[in-house]
Structures are given as structure tokens and as C-alpha cells.
Homo-oligomer: A and B are copies of this chain.
Amino acid sequence: MTTTAPDTVQELVEAWGAMGALWGINRSVARVHALLMATEGPLSLDEIAERLRISKGNASMSLRELRTFGVVRQVEAPGDRRDFYVTEPDVWTMFFRILRERKRREFDPALEAIHRLLARPGAQGEVRGRLQQMGDLLATVEGVVNRFLKDPASTRAALALVAGLPFDRRKKRT
């Protein structure tokens, strides 16, 4: 039993998988990620596929995606031909990297359209105000994401403040 507690791990895997949708990554990918998060040592591709009851092919593709997001890393075992995988420990970074990706693909076109509309001379009151709000919203999210990627520590602290969190946990790490 290499993991904390099999059945609860299972629950986390499922919950994380469902939540993946929230930030736009698919169920399998998120489940693989959760499994690695909840497991101490590195896992081989086959073990992952087996534990999650998904095909090797699916596992392989999911791991690739996680690697391109930079949240999973391959490690090698001494005299073993297989590849093993571990998560980067930083979930926050993962979250924001993925957001940045989606920002590019989805925010930017929307922002462009909004600005184009605002530039039109004929943009009236009601509409103008709403468009501006949309722009503000997108710009704010964008700003937070960018700032986080530049300076994670301070952004995290700032967000904790905004969130009004007790703000104790975390061992410190500067």
C-alpha cells in the first residue's frame, strides 16, 4: 500500500477529475494528476493505467499533457526500463499556467472584440458601460494570472488577504 489510504485517495481522484472541467482539463488528465498528487513515490505508466482503470494509451496521452503543462516530470529508476512519473509539488503554478493557456485561446479574442466595439464612435451609454465592465473583468483576471506567474509568493499572499483567509497554514518557505 504505497498510498495514504486507497479508498479516500479514490475519492480525491474522482473529485479532482470532476473539478478538472472547471479549469478546462479533461477528466482523465485530472485523475492522473490527482493520483500522482496523492501518491508518495513515482508511478509507472502501467501502474497509473491500472489504478485508474484507463487504457495505457489514455494514460500516455494524459501524462503528455501534464508534462506540457509542466506539472508532471519523468524520473528514471536505477536499472528499470520503464518511465516513472511524479508531480511537481506546486499546484498553484499548475493552476495558473493552465489559466494562462486558456487566456490566450479564449480571453484574447473576446478582449479584442470588446475593444473594437468600444472604439466605434457609435458606442452608446448602456452598452458602452457593460462592454467596459466585461473588459475590466477580463483584464483583472488576466492581471492576476500574469502577476502570479511573475511573482507567485506575493500574489498568493495578496490573494489570501483578499479572500479573507485565516492565513496560518503553510510551513513557510519564502
Contact = CB atoms under 8 A, between A and B. Distances in A.
Interface of A: 3-5, 8-9, 11-12, 14-16, 18-19, 21-22, 24, 37-40, 87, 89-92, 95, 102, 106-107, 109-110, 112-114, 116-117, 120, 122-124, 126-127, 129-137, 139-144, 146-147, 155-156, 158-165, 169-171
Given A109-B18, A143-B162, A171 B130 contact: no
Copies in the complex: 2
Secondary structure at the A interface, as helix, strand, loop or mixed, is helix
Contacts of A11: 109, 112-113, 116
A162 B150 CA distance: 12
A167 to B, nearest CB: 10
